[in-house]
Amino acid sequence: MRWGILYDWSKELASCEPEYYRWNQWLFLQLYKRGLAYRGKAPVNWCPTDQTVLANEQVIDGRCERCGSEVVQRELEQWFLKITAYADRLDDGLDQLEQWPERVKVMQRNWIGRSVGADVEFPIPSLGKTIRIFTTRPDTIYGATFMVLAPEHPDVAALIADASDRAELERWIESVRCQSALERQEAGKEGRFSGKYATNPFTKEPIPIWLGNFVLLQYGTGAIMAVPGHDQRDFEFAKQYDLPIRIVVVPNVEPALSRFESAGEPALRQAFVENGVSVDSGVITGLPTPKAIERIIAEIGRLGIGKKMVRYRLRDWLISRQRYWGTPIPVLYCDKCGIVLVQEDQLPVVLPLDVPFTGREGNPLAKDPNFVNATCPKCGGSARRETDTMDTFVDSSWYYTRFISARDDKQIFDSRLVNRWLPVDQYIGGIEHAILHLLYARFICRTLYDMGLVNFEEPFTRLFNQGMITKEGYRDPSDNLAWVPLNEVELRDGKAYRGGHELVPEMGKMSKSRFNVVPPDDLIARYGADTERVYTLFIAPPEKEAAWSDEGVVGAYRFLGRVWNLWERVAAGFSPTGGLKAAPTQLIRKTHQTIAAVTQRIERFEFNTAISALMELSNAITDARADGADVSESYKVLLQLLHPFAPHITEELWEMLGNQRFILTSRWPEADRALMQEDVVTIVVQVNGKLRGHVEVPNPPAEEVVLSAVRGNDRIQQWVAGKQIVKTIYVPGKLVNVVVR
């Protein structure tokens, strides 16, 4: 309110209200019917502090995105949305997003992690079955000297069933399973021999099957063929456990080839992972890597042991949460009928407001009999209500459509209106949403498209990532680097202290925990909302992080003060007795140049330089007025151009100038190209590339005029005297460079 911001309250929505989240539930039902929502058992990320599961996107460096606790893996039945079914479309769609920052697209591409390769079955003679692996380098299959399974791989139990050291193996598997993702990675590579062998389908040799902590169950098939000669991870594992390494690809450069061969296996210090030429590889011997891959996949297909495969790093979106808040998942469990959807006309399933909170003892919803006990709509028998609620990122993945018809209680939104107004032309958000919200929203938009509800696949045409405003915070080294509240910090000689201890300043995002928040209200109370706005926009380009400085604010305050004070002097210009000179052409020119500059810079989000252009115009008006000129027209333009940045003061001054209608409704000034033209241009003169002087010539400048002016210039003549002019370069309207020897 105090910022002076206008909202259309008729479009207000709140995702925690049943009027909104009933459409979350409706959407869930549609996704379920399309096979895009499913309940499944999977190893999931569990935050022990928040007592809830988390999506992969919400685990940062092995820690909970919300509270920072180390995340552990648990095997649980949970609800998922099948975002992986859209992996290729989400990846391909990035190419069309020309007005998105490149780094966001790169982050999404990495997150989706599309890999093209092949699935191949490796026979396990002792089990009488095969184990499937995924590889992006099927051309190296002749070099597969062992196999590694994730410790949690479903076939592990059968493999070690009759092992002599089975108990020890199981203990090891259990210890790996209990590790957090972070611990597991820090442990380094570790493995155990299962005791069984697979057959390499191409060399027909028996190869040992190992279990390894570095093989992930969730990616690919949870099993790999290990090619230590051509995969660095396999190489390290092979070295560690003394497994054979076989070279099947060599660099295709002749000298390198001979060196590689003569060096031999013992000298090999790392795997050769680049493309090259296959050797000792049956039908693909002699082929360059891309051709070899193509050929071997055909061969794999012919043998019926596998096929070309595209796999993704992206996992399905785990939306179950056990933390009470959020949208209840509209599902019932009936003893007879199993999973039963809540009927659409029974929505919303309302989140009860009177549940007892006992602290951190699991989901309070599960303890509320009024909520849990329900009747099965199919058989009429008793049923149990789902107590998981949805990740709140579900709400935000389609809210932008709801703004278009926020009060519609018949449908999720009015497609006709949504297709007219959307997709969003300009979306603004922090980079922290690069893969969370923006990926989910792109996914859900495509599902809406497939349901025929919207006619666009990308929700946000143009994306802009604004930077954060940062501020110094202070930590106390004598108190375990705890953050110190600002009112306890004493600043002396550019250093900070608390009770004699020197504190360590650290620049960072404003947050309550760092005690470095500058409440805008204080500044607004002191300087006004206009100053706050102008300063915030002036401080730095909006995409950049910017350090807040209290001192800098006065610059914006003074600027607005000067514009205010100008009024009295300008007002005199309206008086017929003012006896003022006409506005000088110099000022008129500056005015139109400013119109052009500010208009363009606003469009390009270059607000800091737009404001600096306004400051220049303001200074020019001040100078011209001091010179006794009538500056009223330029002043009016200044107010109009300044209005988007400082609406209150400009509106007031506009009225004081005698205008009847709001400046807001006035027509945006238009730059007159002809009036912007300088009548004299200053040409820079260089001798041997160094600045030696200027000449002024009438605009537009003719080359002969410029060159003769340069020749007639005393200073230039001094620099040229006694030298031979090798050549003269003329850049039209800008510069002359005389090259002498």
Partner RNA sequence: GCGAAAGUGGCGGAAUUGGCAGACGCGCUGGACUUAGGAUCCAGUGGCCCAAAGCCGUGGGGGUUCGAGUCCCCCCUUUCGCACCA
Q: Is residue 431 at the binding interface for RNA, with CB under 7 A as the rule?
A: yes
Paired residues of 392 in beta bridges: none
8-13, long-range: CB within 8 Å, 24+ apart, which pairs?
Answer: 10/406, 10/407, 11/403, 11/406, 12/406, 13/399, 13/402, 13/403, 13/406
Cα gap 49→71, rounded to integer Å: 9
Cα–Cα separations (whole angstroms), residue 415 to 207, 412, 452, 736: 59, 9, 9, 62
Selected binder of RNA within 611, 642, 646, 716 (CB under 7 A): 611
**By CB under 7 A, which span of 286-294, 326-334, 442-450, 683-691 interacts with RNA?**
683-691
Selected binder of RNA within 460, 692, 706, 709 (CB under 7 A): 692
Residues numbered 116-155 forming contacts with RNA, rule: CB under 7 A: 117, 134-137, 150
Selected binder of RNA within 29, 85, 107, 510 (CB under 7 A): 107
Nearer to RNA, 213 or 397 (CB): 213
- Which structure tokens are listed for 340? 């039963």
Selected binder of RNA within 329, 438, 539, 716 (CB under 7 A): 539
Query: Smallest gap, in angstroms, from Cβ of residue 202 to RNA?
Result: 16
Task: State the helix-helix crossing angle for 529-538 and 550-571, rounded to 10 degrees.
Answer: 120
Nearer to RNA, 85 or 540 (CB): 540
Selected binder of RNA within 99, 110, 285, 426 (CB under 7 A): 110
Q: Is residue 686 at the binding interface for RNA, with CB under 7 A as the rule?
A: yes
Contacts of 315 (CB under 8 A, 6+ apart): 56, 84, 218
Contacts of 115 (CB under 8 A, 6+ apart): 136, 310, 311, 312, 313
Selected binder of RNA within 280, 414, 616, 633 (CB under 7 A): 616
Nearer to RNA, 21 or 538 (CB): 538
Residues numbered 453-492 forming contacts with RNA, rule: CB under 7 A: none
**By CB under 7 A, which span of 75-83, 299-307, 316-324, 532-540 interacts with RNA?**
532-540
Q: Is residue 185 at the binding interface for RNA, with CB under 7 A as the rule?
A: yes
**By CB under 7 A, which span of 103-111, 377-385, 407-415, 517-525 interacts with RNA?**
103-111
Query: Smallest gap, in angstroms, from Cβ of residue 667 to RNA?
Result: 25
Query: Smallest gap, in angstroms, from Cβ of residue 256 to RNA?
Result: 19
Query: Smallest gap, in angstroms, from Cβ of residue 269 to RNA?
Result: 14
Nearer to RNA, 233 or 239 (CB): 233
Pairing between β-strand 317-318 and β-strand 129-135 as defined by DSSP bridges: unpaired
Selected binder of RNA within 220, 228, 229, 701 (CB under 7 A): 220
Q: 243: helix, coil or strand?
A: coil
Selected binder of RNA within 72, 85, 517, 735 (CB under 7 A): 735
For residue 700, cis peptide bond before it (omega within 30 degrees of 0): yes
Q: Is residue 737 at the binding interface for RNA, with CB under 7 A as the rule?
A: yes
Nearer to RNA, 385 or 533 (CB): 533
Q: Is residue 449 at the binding interface for RNA, with CB under 7 A as the rule?
A: no
> Pattern of binders to RNA over 715-734, x per CB under 7 A?
x-----------x-x-x--x
SS (H, E, C) 619-642: HHHHHHHHCCECCHHHHHHHHHHH
Nearer to RNA, 235 or 443 (CB): 235
Cα gap 724→722, rounded to integer Å: 7
Residues numbered 345-364 forming contacts with RNA, rule: CB under 7 A: none
- Which structure tokens are listed for 552? 């800098």
Alpha helices, H only, 359-414: 369-372, 393-396, 399-402
Q: Is residue 192 at the binding interface for RNA, with CB under 7 A as the rule?
A: no
Q: 129: helix, coil or strand?
A: strand
> Pattern of binders to RNA over 25-64, x per CB under 7 A?
-----------------------------------xx---
Residues numbered 568-607 forming contacts with RNA, rule: CB under 7 A: 606
Element housing 374 (H / E): strand 373-375
Query: Smallest gap, in angstroms, from Cβ of residue 651 to RNA?
Result: 21
Query: Smallest gap, in angstroms, from Cβ of residue 433 to RNA?
Result: 11
Q: Is residue 113 at the binding interface for RNA, with CB under 7 A as the rule?
A: yes
Cα–Cα separations (whole angstroms), residue 625 to 321, 632, 716: 66, 9, 37
The percent helix, strand, coil of the chain (3-state, each to 5) is 40, 25, 35
Q: 281: helix, coil or strand?
A: coil
Cα–Cα separations (whole angstroms), residue 505 to 138, 516, 551, 613: 53, 11, 18, 34
Q: Is residue 429 at the binding interface for RNA, with CB under 7 A as the rule?
A: no
Q: Is residue 547 at the binding interface for RNA, with CB under 7 A as the rule?
A: yes
Task: Provide the CA 482 distance to its chain's centre, in angstroms.
Answer: 30
Q: Is residue 619 at the binding interface for RNA, with CB under 7 A as the rule?
A: yes
Contacts of 346 (CB under 8 A, 6+ apart): 377
Alpha helices, H only, 539-678: 550-571, 585-603, 607-626, 632-642, 647-656, 673-676
Q: How many residues bind RNA (CB under 7 A)?
A: 82
Cα gap 189→233, rounded to integer Å: 9
Q: Is residue 538 at the binding interface for RNA, with CB under 7 A as the rule?
A: yes
Selected binder of RNA within 29, 170, 682, 711 (CB under 7 A): 682
Determine contact, residues 218/117, Cβ cutoff 8 Å. no
Q: Is residue 559 at the binding interface for RNA, with CB under 7 A as the rule?
A: yes
Query: Smallest gap, in angstroms, from Cβ of residue 641 to RNA?
Result: 14
**By CB under 7 A, which span of 84-92, 192-200, 375-383, 550-558 interacts with RNA?**
550-558
Determine contact, residues 505/581, Cβ cutoff 8 Å. no
Q: Is residue 251 at the binding interface for RNA, with CB under 7 A as the rule?
A: no
Cα gap 119→311, rounded to integer Å: 10
**By CB under 7 A, which span of 66-74, 105-113, 335-343, 697-705 interacts with RNA?**
105-113
Selected binder of RNA within 115, 466, 599, 677 (CB under 7 A): 115
Query: Smallest gap, in angstroms, from Cβ of residue 274 to RNA?
Result: 12
Contacts of 291 (CB under 8 A, 6+ apart): 284
Measured distance between the N- and C-terminal CA atoms of the chain, rounded to whole angstroms: 69
Nearer to RNA, 347 or 629 (CB): 629
**How deeply is 367 buried, as exposed, middle or buried, from its count of CB atoms within 10 A (0-12, 13-18, 19+)?**
middle
Nearer to RNA, 126 or 682 (CB): 682
Nearer to RNA, 412 or 624 (CB): 624
Selected binder of RNA within 98, 102, 345, 493 (CB under 7 A): 102
Selected binder of RNA within 95, 493, 551, 568 (CB under 7 A): 551
Query: Smallest gap, in angstroms, from Cβ of residue 679 to RNA?
Result: 15
**How deeply is 27 buried, as exposed, middle or buried, from its count of CB atoms within 10 A (0-12, 13-18, 19+)?**
buried
Q: Is residue 558 at the binding interface for RNA, with CB under 7 A as the rule?
A: yes
Task: State the helix-helix crossing angle for 529-538 and 520-527, rounded to 10 degrees.
Answer: 120
Query: Smallest gap, in angstroms, from Cβ of residue 47 to RNA?
Result: 17
HSE-CB for 165 with a 13 A CA cutoff: 10
Pairing between β-strand 59-60 and β-strand 63-64 as defined by DSSP bridges: antiparallel
> Pattern of binders to RNA over 301-340, x per CB under 7 A?
----------x-x---------------------------
Nearer to RNA, 469 or 489 (CB): 469
Q: Is residue 661 at the binding interface for RNA, with CB under 7 A as the rule?
A: no
